[in-house]
Amino acid sequence: PKRKIKCRNLTFIYDFMILINRKPLRRLNGRCDLTFNHIAYERLVFHQICTFPRNIFFLVHTETGKQKDFVRDPASGQTFPLKKDHFYFIPNETPAEYLFTDDITFMTFHFNLELYPGMDLYHGMHGIRSGHDPKLTARIWDIFGEEDEFRSVVRFKAAIMDFCQAHWPSVRRNELGPYSPLFLKIRERCSAQLTVTELAEEEGITQEAFSRRIRRALGTTPKKLIQSELLRRITALLADPDITISDIAGMLRFSSVFYLSRFFRDQTGMSPTAYRERFAGQNRCVSRQ
């Protein structure tokens, strides 16, 4: 169509044509959100089987050559020795056995890339990915030397986004759009008191029918969606040293610290206190020097 623009005393007439319309992508702006719960360059002595609500990504920076460090997939039994300039990726909610010693240093990220509230890009994926990538190791190591904190976050996000693009899951997530209101509802109202029955009643169907529908569409249960969001909230709050575990129990409507701790241990294999000490503290950062 012809468009007319009047600028002061001049009038311009031009032809306007959209060759590629990506306007529908604008609705995704509020999604595809990459958030970090943990960023560190560290040396850690640790051996445990753990499950985390976030994706775990780390790269080995230095080694002694004598290390026996590894990450193992209990489901397949496959073991990955930890080696210099190698990356390791464990999708969220994937159990893994970690053995770290002081023979290595590594750069680690706990992150989510959410397409919908509570629905990570790698949701439902299993298995550990590993590869030799000295360029990526060097790129991320360089960012740890960035003095501008805001710019460093932007650079970290760019690096992790590039990794995600290179390791994009084959499962299409576009079909989840109709369930976006459910994801948002769980995100906004999640607490230890939120029940599947409550969500089903709001949909006007029985709990059994609601659970079947969610399982068919999402490959998981509404109970698991609630648990995953609750776990995500707990780990986010544990990252703040000024918030006590008792405070967290109250904020998320657990009847006591005991029940919060039991829930957290059942989900991750760790107590909230152990998680805070090992993954939410500041005492394991190693000098770049």
Tens-digit pLDDT profile for residues 50-70: 999 999 999 999 999 999 999
CATH number for the domain that contains residue 214: 1.10.10.60
Question: Which of 115, 146, 166 is the last residue in one of the domains?
Answer: 166
CA distance 146 to 194: 42
Mean pLDDT of 247-275: 95
| For residue 137, pLDDT beyond 90 | yes
Domain of residue 71: give its range.
Answer: 28-166
Residue 160 and residue 209 in one domain: no
Which pLDDT band holds residue 284 (cuts at 50, 70, 90)?
very low
What per-residue confidence (pLDDT) applies to 57? 98
CA distance 43 to 162: 25
Mean pLDDT of 224-231: 92
What per-residue confidence (pLDDT) applies to 1? 52
Number of domains in the chain: 2
Which pLDDT band holds residue 10 (cuts at 50, 70, 90)?
low
Q: How far apart, in Å, are the Cα atoms of 163 and each of 28, 56, 76, 129, 137?
A: 20, 12, 24, 12, 12
